[in-house]
Structure 1
Amino acid sequence: MITKKSLPRRTFLRGLGASVSLPLLDAMIPSMTAAAQTVAAPSKLRRIGYVYMPMGCDVTRWTPPNANTLEELSPTLSPLAKVKDSVTAITNLELKNAYPGTHATSNSAFLSAVTAKRTESTDYFLGTTVDQIAASTIGQKTQLPSLELAMDLLATVGQCDNGYACVYQNNLSWSSPTTPLPAEAHPRIVFETLFGEGGSVAQRKANLAKRASLLDSVTEEITRLKNTLGPSDQNKLTQYLDSIREVERRIQQAESTTSDNPLPDLDRPKGVPAAYADHAKLMFDLQLLAFQGDITRVITFQLARETSNRTYPEVGVSDPHHPLTHHGNDPDKIAKVAKINQFHVSLFADFLEKMQATPEADGTLLDHSLYLYGSGMGNPNVHDHTNLPILVAGGAAGNMRGGRHIRYDKPTPLANLHLTLLNKAGVNLDSFADSNGQVDELFGALDV
């Protein structure tokens, strides 16, 4: 029997005030026998993420045309073509506890599936969200139990929507019924949360001046580690570190060009790309690094706040998003809403493609992760919370059957899906919120 000491999974490269976690390498798997390697690195789900799309969708362009399969994608879901075998669309899920229909309750019920207390003050009350239930179990052995991200830099306060406090729209994640977890939208702050050296704006600028790159301070240790690894691990490590350096470069580029930005946005923090797509892709790349480095195993990401008046000139939509969703069945406005929906899906699809291209253990990063993408609102024109636009991606390591369209004949609680995903991610519960079962069709032996 050949024995070999393995590299600990929680290995860090340490330099001057910095530490860099590592991706899962073959050297981290105990090398006693081939069978021992299989036992040490089983095919299983390791992570769970949630991406929120605001203000529902145009369901006619969202819904896949065929029952049971994603062989033909709908117009809105067409960007998923390269990863559709790892994606399942689920039709006719609902959030009963989000009524009366509001933007605030769409956001707050998405991960809690409970009714928000109607208040304009600080006596808000909701429920513990699924991501935090997951974090309490699968997030306890990582640097960060969970990571909360968003795209909007400014969180409004006070009353935002028909008597509901803005806290319900600002936060997807709640660690208790009275404790919302603020999301971070600034890439530089997120990067430093993952890899070290936070602090005030002045401190962060000083840190940038002190060191051009996080990786420069650990160069010697990187060289030493590479000399101990096999060719496959060396390639994995190089690709991971190159990804970190590329994210650094993009953040620094955004910081260097912000002062020359001609847009009349004097409060724009440094380090945030001017274009929405560039900002979103950077936030998705940070998620990939966080998962690949096992810095966290639970992530929430809000693509925009409910009632957002953001415009999307990248796809030819100069009208503010929120007014467009109150379209009054105007075909032109509905088409513009669909363009925004498709744009958001395309950003998610790019992220999934990167995860699928990232090897890990006996599969890919996407195989060992689950992502739920969707909205807490169905038809935004009438503020309903039924027939929600919902996608589930990844999960092959847990036998998720992708390339499918699950269509329920009658409205079914979104809580059923939450319960199913929690259980597949290793958080064993009998029920969640108003669940009345599980989405058994989502997982199981793959068709031969």
Structure 2
Amino acid sequence: MKNSINRRRFILRSAAVSLALPGLPSLVTGADIKSSEIAESQGAGTGARRFVAVGNLLGFQQKHFFPETTGKAYEETPLLKPLAANRDQITVYRGLDHGLRGGHFAVHTFLSGLLHHESKNRADGNVTIDQFIADEVGNQTRFPSLTVGSEGGIHGGCQLSWTKSGVRVPPITGPAELFDRLFVTDSEERHKQQVKANSLQASVLDSIREEAGALSKRVNTEDKAKLDEYFSSIRDVEKRLELRQRWADQPKPKAPFDKPADKNTVEDLPMLYELIALALQTDSTRIATLEIGGSFLPQHLGIDKSYHGLSHHGNDEETIAHLVTLEKYQLEQYGKFLTRLAGIQDGEQSLLDSTAVLFGSGMGSANSHTNSDLPIIVAGGGYGKGEFKQAPTSGPGKIPLCNLFLDIAQRMGVQKESFGTSTGTFS
């Protein structure tokens, strides 16, 4: 290996990941690089813990969302009314947020608690709770996680899901593609091509790991963190490649209906929820996110206004009424999803009993561009207590939203003591 090795770049394009050897000023003792071990089990399925997160881009009208009375006797607000059939299976939270500012530019922190540009020096970056869990338990299913919903929107949209290396996980944007992922098996020719590609990528990985391992013996301590980060990227790609190889010959479940056509986000929302329910039921995945972003157009609900324009309502009653119509529709579909999960048997309990379903937004009030006092609901999965919880909004008793996320992760079997900005657990 030449002394100018720091100028070389090794690129691996695999499983939607690119690896580039970082530039190193110096030429640290070799790190122990081992292939990630993929669990032999294909997933118990029945009774396994599952997690779904639903987030929207522009928040909800707080006065129409939050009750006044805490506990189980809370009143039914206009936006909570669609959840009446599942009242005993939900908990509504107020006072939980990430203590951040940024308006639309901070919506992407909903599931992480961290601004992307402020997370560069953190070991887990701005990883979101879905990917945090998937990194630990996602290898038990064909898809470690499924990210579904709107691709864009104001300043990039919800950007709901992020990896620990700081990469946004792009969502599957329509029911047609999601249906294909879940139920359509590759042709024989396509399967052969994929097996060949997997073999080639594994060979390239071996080469990269070997050369990077040799390089690790020649760098100074200043470059150790940079090279360790690179090793972490290698291990991430190894995990994804091994998982893909493992499932290559496993048949997908049979489709229960014909492939749906993409329409628009408003009309597609019920089908996206249905396909996520089927993904959980068939144990194709145990972790999913659904983001409702810029492609959710009021026109498809008969309102000839822009969603963003409506969100800056200036306390105009007619505008707020339009927003409540949009938001109520979103909560109606969420409620129907809960009812669907409650009707699916999962061993001795329902699929809703097995699944924690988070609903909310990284935006508190779009009208005033605040990211505090976030609207949060968690249903099922042990969180269905049928009550409204009011947490302190400031002072020493303030509870980070990440405390709730850490509790969800630990119940999913993740043996970690912190997540994002957590200071403990909360449920």
Aligned-partner residue type, residue 381 of structure 2: G
Aligned-partner residue type, residue 116 of structure 1: H
Aligned-partner residue type, residue 84 of structure 1: R
**Structure-1 residue corresponding to 2:126:** 127
Q: 2:256 aligned to 241, 245, 250, which one?
A: 245
Aligned-partner residue type, residue 256 of structure 2: R
Question: Do the aligned residues in 2 keep the contact of 1:57 with 1:378 (CA within 8 Å)?
Answer: yes
TM-score by length of 2: 0.68
**Structure-2 residue corresponding to 1:341:** 327
**Structure-2 residue corresponding to 1:384:** 370
**Structure-2 residue corresponding to 1:117:** 117
> Does residue 1:432 correspond to 2:419, yes or no?
yes
**Counterparts of 1:23 and 1:354 in 2: how far apart (Å)?**
18
**Structure-2 residue corresponding to 1:291:** 280
Residue 174 of structure 1, CA deviation = 1.3
Residue 371 of structure 1, CA deviation = 1.0
Question: Do the aligned residues in 1 keep the contact of 2:98 with 2:401 (CA within 8 Å)?
Answer: yes
Residue 313 of structure 1, CA deviation = 4.2
Residue 406 of structure 1, CA deviation = 0.7
SS at match of 2:163: strand
**Structure-1 residue corresponding to 2:164:** 176
**Counterparts of 1:334 and 1:184 in 2: how far apart (Å)?**
31
**Counterparts of 2:76 and 2:296 in 1: how far apart (Å)?**
29
Question: Do the aligned residues in 1 keep the contact of 2:149 with 2:171 (CA within 8 Å)?
Answer: yes
Question: Do the aligned residues in 2 keep the contact of 1:71 with 1:403 (CA within 8 Å)?
Answer: no
SS at match of 1:140: helix
Farther-moved stretch of structure 1 (320-329 vs 428-437):
428-437
**Structure-2 residue corresponding to 1:103:** 104
User: Superposition pairs for residues 25-40 of structure 1, below 5 Å?
Assistant: none
Aligned-partner residue type, residue 113 of structure 1: G
SS at match of 1:285: helix
Residue 114 of structure 1, CA deviation = 0.6
Runs of 5+ in structure 1 lacking a partner? 1-7, 12-21, 25-43, 119-124, 204-239, 252-270, 443-448
**Counterparts of 2:48 and 2:180 in 1: how far apart (Å)?**
27
Residue 172 of structure 1, CA deviation = 1.4
Question: Do the aligned residues in 2 keep the contact of 1:189 with 1:198 (CA within 8 Å)?
Answer: no
Q: 2:51 aligned to 48, 51, 59, which one?
A: 48
Question: Do the aligned residues in 1 keep the contact of 2:74 with 2:388 (CA within 8 Å)?
Answer: no
**Structure-2 residue corresponding to 1:219:** none
**Counterparts of 2:171 and 2:158 in 1: how far apart (Å)?**
8
Is the alpha carbon distance of 1:344 and 1:426 closer, same or farther for their aligned partners in structure 2, counting shifts above 3 Å? same
Residue 312 of structure 1, CA deviation = 4.5
**Structure-1 residue corresponding to 2:268:** 279
- CA offsets 1:332-362 (integer angstroms, 9 cap, x no match): 2122212211111001001110100111111
**Counterparts of 2:400 and 2:339 in 1: how far apart (Å)?**
29
Is the alpha carbon distance of 1:59 and 1:198 closer, same or farther for their aligned partners in structure 2, counting shifts above 3 Å? farther
Residue 92 of structure 1, CA deviation = 1.0
Question: Do the aligned residues in 1 keep the contact of 2:146 with 2:289 (CA within 8 Å)?
Answer: yes
Aligned-partner residue type, residue 104 of structure 1: F
Question: Do the aligned residues in 1 keep the contact of 2:363 with 2:369 (CA within 8 Å)?
Answer: yes
Q: Percent identity?
A: 28
CA RMSD of aligned residues (A): 2.7
Is the alpha carbon distance of 1:190 and 1:313 closer, same or farther for their aligned partners in structure 2, counting shifts above 3 Å? closer
Aligned-partner residue type, residue 299 of structure 1: A
Question: Do the aligned residues in 2 keep the contact of 1:142 with 1:295 (CA within 8 Å)?
Answer: yes
**Structure-1 residue corresponding to 2:12:** none
Is the alpha carbon distance of 1:341 and 1:197 closer, same or farther for their aligned partners in structure 2, counting shifts above 3 Å? same
> Does residue 1:196 correspond to 2:166, yes or no?
no
Residue 71 of structure 1, CA deviation = 5.2
**Counterparts of 1:428 and 1:81 in 2: how far apart (Å)?**
35
- CA offsets 1:257-296 (integer angstroms, 9 cap, x no match): xxxxxxxxxxxxxx2025x443011111110110000000
Question: Do the aligned residues in 2 keep the contact of 1:309 with 1:320 (CA within 8 Å)?
Answer: no
**Structure-2 residue corresponding to 1:149:** 148
- CA offsets 1:417-448 (integer angstroms, 9 cap, x no match): 11111111111221222222321xx3xxxxxx
Is the alpha carbon distance of 1:180 and 1:317 closer, same or farther for their aligned partners in structure 2, counting shifts above 3 Å? same
Aligned-partner residue type, residue 424 of structure 1: R
**Counterparts of 2:291 and 2:132 in 1: how far apart (Å)?**
18
User: Superposition pairs for residues 390-405 of structure 1, below 5 Å?
Assistant: 390-396=376-382, 400-405=383-388
Question: Do the aligned residues in 1 keep the contact of 2:106 with 2:371 (CA within 8 Å)?
Answer: no
Residue 105 of structure 1, CA deviation = 1.5
SS at match of 1:348: helix
> Does residue 1:74 correspond to 2:61, yes or no?
no
Aligned-partner residue type, residue 429 of structure 1: K
Aligned-partner residue type, residue 297 of structure 2: R
- CA offsets 1:393-429 (integer angstroms, 9 cap, x no match): 1113xxx342111111324311111111111111122
**Counterparts of 2:326 and 2:68 in 1: how far apart (Å)?**
20
Question: Do the aligned residues in 2 keep the contact of 1:117 with 1:126 (CA within 8 Å)?
Answer: no
**Counterparts of 1:170 and 1:409 in 2: how far apart (Å)?**
26
**Counterparts of 1:83 and 1:437 in 2: how far apart (Å)?**
29
Aligned-partner residue type, residue 322 of structure 1: H
Question: Do the aligned residues in 2 keep the contact of 1:109 with 1:376 (CA within 8 Å)?
Answer: yes
Residue 301 of structure 1, CA deviation = 0.6
Matched positions, count: 316
Aligned-partner residue type, residue 273 of structure 2: F
